[in-house]
Amino acid sequence: MASRLLWLSRMPRVLPLVPILVLLAACTDDPGPSGPQVTSRVERHQYPVMQSMQLDLLFVIDSSPSMAAHHTRLDAALPGIMTALQALPTGLPDLHLGVVTADLGGAGCATAGDDGAMGMYLTDEPVGIGERARNYQGTLADAFSAYARVGTAGCATQKPLAAMRRALENPANAGFRRSDAYLAIVIVTANDDASEGTLADYVTFAKTQSTDPTKVTVTTVSGAATGSTCGEVAAPRLADFVAQFPNRNSHVSICSSDLTEAVALLGQLVKTTLGVACWESQLVDTNPATPELEPECAATLTSPTLPSVDRVLESCDVADPGAPCWRFKPEPAACPTGPRLSVAVDHLIELPRAEIWVTIECSVIVDPEAP
C-alpha cells in the first residue's frame, strides 16, 4: 500500500492538554491477501510533551535504636527506590536529593542531634544535549544507598516533622531547594512524630515551600495510624500530617520489603500534572498477520521557543538506541476508550529543557456505519 503520510511542517502553538485533531481525506485500502477491505483516513494530533521535571527530593530518616529491627530490610530496598525514580514517565528528574535524620536532640538525648544538616546532598542535573552534571561517583542507586545509611545511634525521641522544617531552613543546606522545583518529602521512621509545635504549623510550612502547593508531595514509610505489624510504633500524628495533602500523599508500611512505592507517587504526579496523551481512534494495522500492532504513522517534535528542537521523530522500533523516539504505550486506566493507548516520547533527556510538542499522524479505520 502506498504511503499517504506527509512529513509534518511546524505546527502552531495550541493550548496545553487539548490536542489538535485534523481529519484528512478517507480512502479505501486494498485488502491484499491477509484481510478484508477497510476504509481509512489519516488523523493528526498534537500533544504537549512530558519532560524531565525539576525535583527536590528530601528523605527524613529515623536514626533511633528502634530502627535496628528494620535496617536490613531498609538497606536492601534503598537501591530499588532510585531505580524506580529513573523509571518515571519522564526519566530521571533534574534531581537534588537530600537526606537528614529525624534526630534534633532534646531532653534525655545523649547528643544535640543533627540539626537537619544534609552534608553534601546529591545532584544529578541535565546540562545540555545528552549530558548530565553529577556530584557523585558510580551509580545513583549506590550513592543514595551509602548516603541514606544513617545508623541507629540517634536519640530515642525522633522529630521528623521538625527535622523536615529545619532541613529546609538550615543555611548549611543552601542551594538544595529550588523555588520552581517539585518538592517531595519522604519520612522513614519506626516511630510516630514527637516534634514540638502544632501539626497545622508543619502542614502550612510544607505547603508554602512552593508558590503552587500541588508541587509539594508527602510520603511516609512508617507504621499505620493504629496497630503494629513488625514491631513498629503506630503513627497517628504522621497519618494526620499526610492526610493534609490530598491527591499528593502516600503511605508505605515500614514492614514492606518493597519500598519503591515511596516514589511511585511521583510517577502519578507527572501524569496528573501534564496529562496523558491518549490516542482514541482505531489504528490501521499494516500487518494483521502478526500479533504486534504495526501502525502507519509519522511524527515530529516542534518547539515555539527553541527551533533547534524541531525534527522528524522516529518510532522507537527503528530509532538509534538512546535517541528521542515515539511509541504507543498501553494505558488502559487513563485511556479507557478506543485502543487504550497513549503517545509516549522516550529519551527526551537528550534534548534541552523547553516547551516541546509532539505532532503525530496515523492511518485510522473509519467505521462504515458511523454517521
Q: Give the separation between CA 91 and CA 169, rounded to whole angstroms.
A: 29
Question: Does one domain contain both 166 and 76?
Answer: yes
Place of cell 522507537: 316
Question: Does one domain contain both 323 and 185?
Answer: no
| Tens of pLDDT, residues 362-371 | 999 987 565 5
pLDDT for res 353: 64
How many domains is the chain built from?
2
Residues 303 and 355: beta-carbon distance below 8 Å: yes
pLDDT for res 274: 57
Question: Does one domain contain both 158 and 170?
Answer: yes
| Tens of pLDDT, residues 315-371 | 999 988 888 899 998 888 778 888 889 888 887 765 666 678 889 999 999 875 655
* Residues contacting residue 248 through CB under 8 Å, at least 6 positions apart: 214, 216, 217, 218, 265, 269
Question: Does one domain contain both 138 and 242?
Answer: yes
Q: How confident is residue 49, by pLDDT bands cut at 50, 70 and 90?
A: confident
Query: Cβ-count burial of 261 within 10 angstroms (0-12 exposed, 13-18 middle, 19+ buried)?
Result: middle
Question: Does one domain contain both 269 and 339?
Answer: no
Domain for residue 371, yes or no? no
* Residues contacting residue 146 through CB under 8 Å, at least 6 positions apart: none
Among residues 141, 124, 246, 251, which one has the least CA distance to residue 187?
251
Question: Does one domain contain both 202 and 334?
Answer: no
Among residues 86, 90, 116, which one has the least CA distance to residue 185?
116
What is the average pLDDT across 284-291? 91
Q: How confident is residue 149, by pLDDT bands cut at 50, 70 and 90?
A: very high
Q: How many helices (H) and strands (E) does the chain have?
A: 6, 16
What is the average pLDDT across 200-220? 93
Burial 57-93 (b: 16+ CB within 10 A, else e): bbbbbbbbebbeebeeebeebbbbbbebbeebbbbbb
Q: Is the pTM of this model over 0.85?
A: no
What is the average pLDDT across 31-52? 71
Q: Give the lowest-confidence range in 67-81, 186-200, 215-229, 253-267.
A: 253-267
- Which domain covers residue 288, as residue numbers? 20-50+276-365
Dmax over Cα atoms in the chain, in whole Å?
A: 83
Overall residue count recorded for the chain in this entry: 371
Domain for residue 3, yes or no? no
Asked if pLDDT for residue 21 goes beyond 60, the answer is no
Domain for residue 10, yes or no? no
Task: Read off the CATH number of the domain in which 166 is found.
Answer: 3.40.50.410
Residue 134, all three cell numbers? 553529577
Question: Does one domain contain both 109 and 180?
Answer: yes
